[in-house]
Amino acid sequence: MSGRDLETEYRERVGRAVACIERNLSSPLSLEVAAAEAAWSFFHFHRVFTAIMGMGPGEYLRMRRLTEAARLLSTGSLPAASIAAVTGFGSAEAFSRSFKSHYGVTPGRYRDTTGVAAIMNPFGPGVRPLAHRAGCLEGEPRLERYGPVRLLARSTVLALEDPGIGSKVNLFWDSCAPAFDRALDAGVAAGRGRRWGIAEPAPGSPGSAIAYFAAIERAPGARVPGGLREYTIPGGEYLLAIHRGPSRRLNETYLYLYGTWLPRAGLEPGKPMDFDFYGERYDFRDPESDGSLVEFRIPVSSGARAPQK
C-alpha cells in the first residue's frame, strides 16, 4: 500500500472511531470499542487518534458531550437534568460540575446568557487535518535493525488520558535513581548516563493505561539485583527519529511520527510498544535545552519497506 493510500486509510479509521463516539454520546462507552472500530490496538489507536484530532479519545468524548450539552442549552428548553442524561453524564450534579469547569459558567447561566453561547461556539464532530510537521524533528527518520537489548528496569502503570502523565514520568524517574545508581556502582549495570524509557500496553488494563519502564543497560552475564527486573527490547526493524529540543515537546514529535510520518511512508506500527533512548547527546542537567537530543524508536511491522524519496 502506498503512503498516500495508508494516510487516507488512517483518516478513515479515525473517522470510524469518531462516528462510534458520536453514536454513543448518551451512553457509557468503553474506548476499546472505538479502537476496535478503527481496527487498532488501543495503544496505537490512542497515539494516532491524538495525532489526528489534537486530543486523546477520552478527552474528545468528554468535550463532545459538553459541547452537545451546550448546543442543547442554547437552542432548546430541555431541563438540565434531561440534558445530563442524553449527553452521558451520570448525574445532574456531575454534569453541572464538568460544564462549569470547562465553560466557566453554570448550565443555567449559559442558557440565560445568549452572548456567552455565541462566543463559546460549540463545535460538532469532525476529523482535523493530520499534523504535517514536527518542529523538533532533526533530519529524516529512517528504518534500521535494532536489538535485542537487555536492560534492568522498574515499571509503573500510567493512565493514557491523564493530563499530568509527563510530570508523573519525571517523578517516576526520580524514584528509580537510587536503585539504578546502586546497580551501576555494583557493576551489574553498564553505560552510566544512558537510559531507556519504554511504553507498552498495561497487562490486564481495559486499554486505557500503559506500563512505563524506566531502564538502564544490564551488564553482560550480571545477576538481576533486588528491586529491579529484566526487560529485553526485542530485535527487529525500527523507525529511528531524532528529537532535538525541549523535553516538553517530546509528545509533539511522537504524535507526528504516528499520525503523519508512518502512514505517509506506507508503514504500520508493529509490536505495541515504543521507546526513547537518552544517551550522550541528551542534556540531563537541562532537559529543556534547545540542543538536547532524544532518540525515538517505534517498531514497524515485518516486511517494512524503506520510504520512497
Boundaries of every domain in the chain = 3-120, 137-299
Closest CA to 217 of 228, 209, 201: 228
How many alpha carbons fall within 13 Å on the CB side of residue 290? Answer: 1
Cell numbers at residue 266, please? 506506507
CA separation, residue 263 to residues 73, 169, 242, 260, 299 (Å): 40, 28, 18, 6, 14
pLDDT of residue 96: 92
Superfamily of domain 137-299: Regulatory factor, effector binding domain (3.20.80.10)
pLDDT of residue 302: 62
pLDDT of residue 271: 87
pLDDT of residue 8: 87
Q: Which CATH architecture has domain 3-120?
A: Orthogonal Bundle (1.10)
- In this structure, the chain runs to a length of 309
Kindly give the pairing relationship between strand 293-299 and strand 274-278. Answer: antiparallel
pTM of the model: 0.78
- pLDDT means per 10 residues, the chain with 309 residues, are 76 93 86 91 90 87 87 82 88 90 82 54 54 80 96 94 85 96 96 94 79 97 95 96 92 86 86 93 90 95 55
Grouping H, G, I as helix, E, B as strand and the rest as coil, residue 124 is coil
pLDDT of residue 221: 92
pLDDT of residue 167: 87
Burial (CB count <10 Å: 0-12, 13-18, 19+), residue 220: exposed
